[in-house]
Amino acid sequence: MTTSLKLNGRLTIEELNALPEIPIEGITYDQMYIEKEPICPEYQAPDQDIIPLSNRSFVMDPGRICMPFGAMWAGVGVHKCIPFVQGAQGCTTYPRYTFCRIFREPVSIATASFHEETAVFGGRKNFIEGLRNLIIRYHPEVIAIVTVCSSEIIGDDMEGFLEEARDSLEEEFGPKIFDEVKFVIIHTPSFVGSHVEGYNRAAAAFLKTLAKRSTPNNKVNIIPGMITPGDIREIKHILKLMDIEGAILFDISGTLDCPLRLPQSMPYYPKGGTRVEEIVDMGSSLATFALCHDAGEAGATYLEKRFRVPAMIGPMPLGIRYTDSFIKNLSEITGKPITDEIKDERGILIDAMADTFHYTMGVRVAIYGDPDIAAAAARFSCELGMLPAIIGSGTESKQFVKDIWETAHEYDFEPVILNGSDMFEWEEHIKKNKIDLILGSSKAVNISKEANAPLVRIGFPIYDRVGYQRRAYVGYRGGEYLLDLIVNTLLESKFPDDRVHQ
């Protein structure tokens, strides 16, 4: 071996390539200096005056999508339901891409195929022809008609169009067609609210159109909000442990996380999803639990006003306290006792928290997500002894602020709350503060890298890792999973390997 080769200090890539030979003991990482090429010349903090959303007119890195997306999410959760989007082709294809990336499942959404002449003359012709085509080709049981910005601005009279379409369908197929297909209109102009509000409106629209009061059925209704299939399975598990019969409105666990079983029937429909009969029956239930205040509250309130089904709204059952309140409410409403199994599950989570608090205490965390998920994650962070310093929600929500302040008073801290702001503002706050951990979606990956704070993926959307749609964050078992994720992420990033052994 040549003695001329001295490896003291760091080598750049050029020097490394110029080496005559690699020393026999190899070159370790700390001897290499790999320069990253920055995209922009240097980070320059932008003008501080225009960082708060109220001081500027643009939105960058938005944490919300438009309303139709939420309505489509809801529609996809119903058995044999195809959302029909009264808008341009992109309004269906972009959401389908988004669903595919997150859930890795095929998603059927039909388009009214708006073009120039539609923008001028309105969407009546496309709507009537489109419903007919959709019924002939796919034989859906429900069609969720979703409007978008263009059809709302043009002023398409959807109710009137639907009447016309029904007349022509009756003429062609006879009156039995209305037993086979139900129509639900969801008005979701994209320039108002966000996907969360779209889901909320869809819940109300489905119940208004379909739910009826008949003999009481001893069930509880659950409107889960925009949570993952895994979460919904966990809710079902809790209901089963307590021996409660539940009906879930928009059960995406059966449609957006499906088994692959051959041979496949044609046309492809997932086996699961909420049945129409279940929705009809929701008017006779014991109570309605809307797990997310902002996504589902409208549906629960409608049932309360119209059919006197008590509405139990929020908070999302994530972490100890919020899950406790969910389970207590369930037990009170149904009169079923809280079983030993559930107490054990709670005990296991508490035990896990006791075993790990040394890692989590005092960790400063930044949170961003949909309002209910962010509020619940903030509460759980506090329960772990962490300090949620910056909490942002993409959708504006009064309840979110209320929940956060309640948590803040209880745990005595002063958070920065960004209500309905974008990730650009959130990012600037992170850069100014010391943050150890980020709880957010895949949209926060770059921010986490720049801020040198590891990311725990939670909420919507997660498209750069697999399996998150199958995992639960809600309930005690979901809390366990989230706790493990948080602690393991901290262990991996904050401690050298030899300090993590037990």
Partner 1 sequence: MKDCLNYNMGTHLVQKRKSGADLPLCSRPSTPGKITQRSCAFYGARWMLAPLEDAIHIVHGPVGCAYYGGAVRGRSFRVFSTALEEKDIVFGGTKRLIRTLKEARIIIPHARYCFVYATCSAAIIGDDIDGICKEMEKEFGCRVIFVNCPGFKRDSQASGHRVAYESLLDGLIGQGERAEVGAHDVNIIGDYNINGESMALKSLLEKMGIRVRCIFTGHADYEGIIAAHRVKLNLLICQNSARFLAEALQKRYGIPYLEVTFLGLSQTMASLRRIGQYFGLERQAEKIIATAYKAIKPGLDRLLPGLKGKKAALFFGAARMASLVKALDDMGMEVTFTGSQFGDLAAYKEAWQNVDPGAYIIDDASEHDLERLLDELRPDVFMGGIKEQFLSHKFGIGFCLFPQLKCAGPYVGFQGFLNLAGSVHNAVYAPVWKLATPNL
Q: Between residue 118 and residue 147, which ones bind partner 1 under the rule CB under 8 A?
A: 118-119, 125-127, 129-134, 136-138
Distance of closest approach, residue 6 Cβ to partner 1, in angstroms: 33
Residue 352 in contact with partner 1, rule: CB under 8 A: no
Helix (H, G, I), strand (E, B) or coil at 393: strand
Nearer to partner 1, 90 or 216 (CB): 90
Span of 109-117, 299-307, 331-339, 487-495 interacting with partner 1 by CB under 8 A: 109-117
Instruction: Look at residue 125 and give its three-state secondary structure.
Output: helix
d(C-alpha 368, C-alpha 394), whole Å: 7
Q: Which stretch binds partner 1 (CB under 8 A): 87-95, 244-252, 338-346, 347-355?
A: 87-95
Least distance from partner 1 to the Cβ atom of residue 184, Å: 16
- Which 156-185 residues touch partner 1, going by CB under 8 A? none
Under the binding rule (CB under 8 A), the answer on residue 397 touching partner 1 is no
How open is the CA angle 411-400-372, to the nearest 5 degrees? 100
Cβ at position 272, least distance to partner 1 in Å: 14
Closest by CA to 221, choosing from 235, 201, 202, is: 235
Closest CB 51 distance from partner 1, rounded Å: 10
Smallest distance, partner 1 to C-beta of residue 410, A: 33
Binders of partner 1 in range 442-481 (CB under 8 A): 443, 446
Residues from 241 through 260 that contact partner 1 (CB under 8 A): 258, 260
- DSSP three-state, residue 311: strand
> Between 230 and 475, whose beta carbon lies closer to partner 1?
230
Phi, psi for 311 (deg, rounded to 5)? -105, 125
Minimum distance from residue 66 beta carbon to partner 1 (Å)? 3
CA distance 212 to 502: 58
306: nearest Cα among 221, 394, 373: 221
How would you write 12-29 as a 3-class SS string?
Answer: CHHHHHHCCCCCCCCCCH
Residue whose structure tokens are 């704070």: 453
Q: Based on CB atoms, which residue is closest to partner 1, 324 or 428?
A: 428
| Contacting residue, 74, 82, 295, 438, with partner 1 by CB under 8 A | 82
**Min dist. Cβ of residue 235 to partner 1 (A):** 25
Which two structure tokens, joined as six digits, stand for 216? 């009481």
Residues 249-308 touching partner 1, rule: CB under 8 A, are: 258, 260-264, 266-268
Size of the site for partner 1 (CB under 8 A): 81
Rounded Cα distance between 501 and 416, Å, is: 35
Binding residue for partner 1, selected from 72, 80, 98, 389, defined by CB under 8 A? 98
Of how many residues is the chain composed? Answer: 502
Q: How far is the CB of 469 from partner 1 (least distance, A)?
A: 12
Residue 93 interacts with partner 1 (CB under 8 A): yes or no: yes
Nearer to partner 1, 178 or 268 (CB): 268
Give residues 426-445 in contact with partner 1 (rule: CB under 8 A): 443
- Give the whole-angstrom CA distance, residue 206 versus residue 71: 10
User: Among the candidate windows 84-92, 209-217, 349-357, 359-367, which touches partner 1 by CB under 8 A?
Assistant: 84-92
Among 163, 147, 157, 479, CA closest to 322: 479
Give least dist CB 206 to partner 1, A. Answer: 21
- Four-point Cα dihedral 430, 433, 437, 441, nearest 10: -10
Q: Under a CB-based contact definition with an 8 Å cutoff, are residues 84 and 146 in contact?
A: yes
Q: Which pair of tokens denotes residue 240? A: 């089963």
Considering the complex, state which of residue 82 and residue 378 has its C-beta at the smaller distance from partner 1: 82
Q: How far, in Å, CA of 382 to CA of 415, rounded?
A: 12
Stretch that binds partner 1, among 104-112, 205-213, 330-338, 381-389 (CB under 8 A): 104-112
When binding is defined by CB under 8 A, the residue of 15, 34, 52, 97 that contacts partner 1 is 97
Residues 6+ apart with CB under 8 A from 409: none
CB of 188 to partner 1, least distance (A): 10
Q: Which two tokens stand for residue 122?
A: 């309105």
Contacts of 193 by beta carbon, 8 Å cutoff, 6+ apart: 67, 395
**47 or 412: CB nearest partner 1:** 47
Find the binding residues for partner 1 in span 25-64 (CB under 8 A).
Answer: 39-41, 46-47, 50, 56-62, 64
Query: Please, what is the minimum distance in Å from the beta carbon of residue 237 to partner 1?
Result: 25
- Interface residue with partner 1 among 5, 34, 153, 361 (CB under 8 A) is 153
Kind and range of the H or E run holding 500: none
Give the span between the Cα atoms of 197 and 210, in whole angstroms.
20
**φ/ψ of residue 158, rounded to 5:** -65, -40
